[in-house]
Structure 1
Amino acid sequence: MKIATIVLGDIDALTGGYLYMRKAVEYLRAHGVETEVVRIPALPVPYLLHLCSTIALCFRFPWRRYAVVLEDEMAHPALCLFNHWLTVTTQTKIVVIVHMLWWKAARNSLKARYVRFIETHVLKTADRVIANSHHTKAELETMGIPGASITVIHPGCDLPLSGTRAPDPREARDRTTLQLLTVANITPLKGLDTLIEALARLNDPALTLDIIGDEHREPRYSQRLKARVTRYGLENRVRFHGQQPPDKLASYYADADIFVLPSLCEAFGIVVAEAMAFGLPIVATRCGGIPELVTDGENGFLVPPNDSASLADAIQKLAADPTLRDHCGRRSYEKTRNLNTWDECGKQIFTVLAAIRGERRG
């Protein structure tokens, strides 16, 4: 079987969505599927101008030679007309992977409406849609995508070691501080301003926060966030580390006491699963697919988005009670046994592609 995988930008980028696509390609190639990655440039131009890249995409390759085109839904502006052209001119099947729906992240209602329109059009041209969580599937169904055409394939989680509990340096470490960890790109959707406010509410010098994530995606927001840290007098308690490679990131997970993700919108939360694999108790927002990973009061706490008081209370509960932290951390690790590995994720994607190849369109 020969397939093409279409992604927007650099497939090696350090985000959960790109990791999912990268692992899928690695699995397919390792199992004999000839897989070509087609990169659509992520240009800094207005959203609607990305529609123009459809024309170049149509004539970039002889698409008839591919049995299936596997698409990252993040590239939806370029796929809008391309998918229609592909279904009319070829028998190539289309499978779209949805990591998140971009209309949900739009900052005004007008943009949300036209982004939703374009995303819906792209998804309705697909022969099969892969959703990264049951929450994402439910959202797709509200857009008119038939549930029977959607397959839920959760991302993988292989950290830190398959089948063994991570060594717990927290038990032997100096207990004068308690380290919170957040892994998230510095953008408004990640709710980091709410986390800074929560930390200021706690007013506990022993609580420190490490933030791992790209500071250059939205530089103005990043600057405002750091200014807020200064305004609250938290310079000695909040540390920004930028993006980190996987091996370095693992050391931050291993050294943390509590993992916090205050997102406003999170389709699944790969970083939550990674933190759970390191036996960390979780404090996160009750949004998107996060409740598929975190059970409130069992392996952590779920709070409403944009609620610094509730976020502070949840952090304080864990910070003040070592026994509760240990219980929630152990339950986090135990729950990862029921999560996909990346190998299982790849196998499930392969199964979808193999099945769709033999189906007749229409």
Structure 2
Amino acid sequence: MKRLVFALPGDPETRTGGYLYDKRLLAELGSCGWRSELIRLPEVLTDSERVPEANRRLAAVPADLPIMVDGLALGVLPEAATALAARGPLIALVHHPLAEETGLTVEDATRLRDLERAALRPAHAIVVTSPATARSLVGTYGVEPSRITVAVPGVDPAPLATGTGRPFTLLSVGSLTRRKGHAVLLQALEAVAFTDFRVILAGSPHRDPAEAERLRRLAATHPHAERINFAGEVESVTLAQLYRAADLFVLPSFHEGYGMVLTESLARGVPVVATTAGAIPDTLPPDAARLVPPGDPVALAETLQHLMTDDEAYEALKDAAQAAREHLPSWGETGRRVAALLECLG
């Protein structure tokens, strides 16, 4: 088998969309004849003092082997990127630009943008997970389109959700970070007159403990406090059960590099309410979702109220979501697209 070195920061078993993408991509590349050797890097994005150790581990990679580095690390390692590219094919994997994370100061966003621009400059190729990220790299980071390969996440077939009907069940899946917009959802629900609903927030509270605590405080004093449920980070079996019982999936993100949970919802025929941020409009068929501006609780409240009280509108959206199941991308397509890139790089 052909050999590929893959480097990513932190624990590869972390249950976020980016890490799940990495894990599945490596499995699909294996099916295409590529044996991946995993290198775990320290989490340099949150601790710059670990940069020397990350550089040391990357410097130990044998020359001439292609190496793909997750952007959560490569984006802040421009010196390592230059050194790696001089010794063999370097492929950057960008889920979304680091500077587009919600809650950054202007100074931090500028610093990350400059670092990532420098880190991407020597890369022989860049894999992105959405056309929106490709456009951002070309327009903001000066990356030539010829170096970019778009390999959107696949989605596995899944059984149709049954829903619950009453109480109307809203499901939101994502780590409890500011970028996911959970606070906007809670604010929107304060203005919803319909009361026969419940909302389940499934996601890790550990990636941003301060935000998770803020959300719990908001929920505790919420007019619908008894209808708000924090499920925490859940395993795949439990997550499948949550999807199965969902009537509507809600993700009011401020930015998404793709949004794998959105297509996972559609795979089960669950209609979606999300925002116009980032790659979301590219990810979702327009008739299977309702999109509102990010950070707009009024528009979100109006949309949720409408769908929970207008049976005809809701059923039309649900029918479109079920029809979309037949046209979702597969993981096999994702793997073959990246494997073809690796073959071109020799």
Q: Same fold (TM over 0.5)?
A: yes
The 8 Å contact of residues 294 and 302 in structure 1, kept in 2 or not, is answered as no
Aligned with 2:131 (options 126, 131, 134): 134
Instruction: Output one character per residue of 1:76-125: Cα deviation in whole Å (capped at 9) or x when no partner.
Output: 2563211211233x2x1011111011111161111111101111111111
* DSSP 3-state at the match of 1:21: helix
- What is the number of equivalent residue pairs in this alignment? 343
* DSSP 3-state at the match of 1:236: helix
The 8 Å contact of residues 156 and 341 in structure 1, kept in 2 or not, is answered as yes
* DSSP 3-state at the match of 1:18: helix
Q: Structure 1 residue 29: deviation in Å?
A: 2.2
Equivalent residue number for residue 117 of structure 1: 114
Cα 1:238/1:145, change in 2 over 3 Å: same
* DSSP 3-state at the match of 1:107: coil
Instruction: Output one character per residue of 1:33-54: Cα deviation in whole Å (capped at 9) or x when no partner.
Output: 22101110226954x3343234
* DSSP 3-state at the match of 1:215: coil
Equivalent residue number for residue 163 of structure 1: none
Instruction: Output one character per residue of 1:211-262: Cα deviation in whole Å (capped at 9) or x when no partner.
Output: 1000111112111111111222322100000111122111111100011000
The 8 Å contact of residues 243 and 265 in structure 2, kept in 1 or not, is answered as yes
Q: Structure 1 residue 291: deviation in Å?
A: 0.4
Equivalent residue number for residue 314 of structure 2: 325
Equivalent residue number for residue 5 of structure 2: 4
Cα 1:318/1:157, change in 2 over 3 Å: same
Q: Structure 1 residue 284: deviation in Å?
A: 0.4
* DSSP 3-state at the match of 1:22: helix
Equivalent residue number for residue 340 of structure 1: 329
Cα 1:2/1:318, change in 2 over 3 Å: same
Instruction: Output one character per residue of 1:160-204: Cα deviation in whole Å (capped at 9) or x when no partner.
Output: 1xxxxx33423xx5x431000000100111111010011111143
Name the CA distance, whole Å, in 2 between partners of 1:294 and 1:87.
Answer: 36
The 8 Å contact of residues 2 and 65 in structure 1, kept in 2 or not, is answered as no
Amino acid in structure 2 at the alignment position of 1:29? G
* DSSP 3-state at the match of 2:261: helix
Name the CA distance, whole Å, in 1 between partners of 2:170 and 2:60.
Answer: 47
Instruction: Output one character per residue of 1:293-338: Cα deviation in whole Å (capped at 9) or x when no partner.
Output: 3344x21211011110100111112111223222212212322433
Q: Structure 2 unaligned runs (5+)?
A: none
Q: CA RMSD in A?
A: 1.7
Amino acid in structure 1 at the alignment position of 2:247? D
Cα 1:226/1:125, change in 2 over 3 Å: same
Amino acid in structure 2 at the alignment position of 1:85? A
Amino acid in structure 2 at the alignment position of 1:311? L
* DSSP 3-state at the match of 1:189: helix
Cα 1:176/1:264, change in 2 over 3 Å: same
Once the two structures are overlaid, the 10-residue window that deviates more, 274-283 or 333-342, is 333-342
Name the CA distance, whole Å, in 2 between partners of 1:214 and 1:94.
Answer: 32
The 8 Å contact of residues 185 and 217 in structure 1, kept in 2 or not, is answered as yes
Equivalent residue number for residue 52 of structure 1: 52
Cα 1:44/1:232, change in 2 over 3 Å: same
Amino acid in structure 1 at the alignment position of 2:337? Q
Equivalent residue number for residue 93 of structure 2: 97
Name the CA distance, whole Å, in 1 between partners of 2:195 and 2:284.
Answer: 28
Name the CA distance, whole Å, in 1 between partners of 2:280 and 2:292.
Answer: 11
Q: Which runs of 4+ in 1 moved over 4 A?
A: none
- 1:191-340 correspondence to structure 2 within 5 Å: 191-296=181-286, 298-340=287-329
Q: Structure 1 residue 65: deviation in Å?
A: 5.2
Cα 1:226/1:93, change in 2 over 3 Å: same
Instruction: Output one character per residue of 1:261-313: Cα deviation in whole Å (capped at 9) or x when no partner.
Output: 000111111000101111111110111111013344x2121101111010011
Equivalent residue number for residue 147 of structure 1: 145
- 1:156-171 correspondence to structure 2 within 5 Å: 156-160=154-158, 166-170=159-163
Q: Structure 1 unaligned runs (5+)?
A: 161-165, 358-362
Cα 1:15/1:104, change in 2 over 3 Å: same
TM-score by length of 1: 0.90
Name the CA distance, whole Å, in 2 between partners of 1:102 and 1:15.
Answer: 15
Amino acid in structure 1 at the alignment position of 2:97? L
Amino acid in structure 2 at the alignment position of 1:210? I
Amino acid in structure 2 at the alignment position of 1:96? A
Name the CA distance, whole Å, in 2 between partners of 1:56 and 1:190.
Answer: 34
Name the CA distance, whole Å, in 2 between partners of 1:240 and 1:307.
Answer: 22
The 8 Å contact of residues 125 and 147 in structure 2, kept in 1 or not, is answered as yes
Cα 1:28/1:312, change in 2 over 3 Å: same
Percent identity over paired residues: 26
Equivalent residue number for residue 360 of structure 1: none
* DSSP 3-state at the match of 1:209: strand
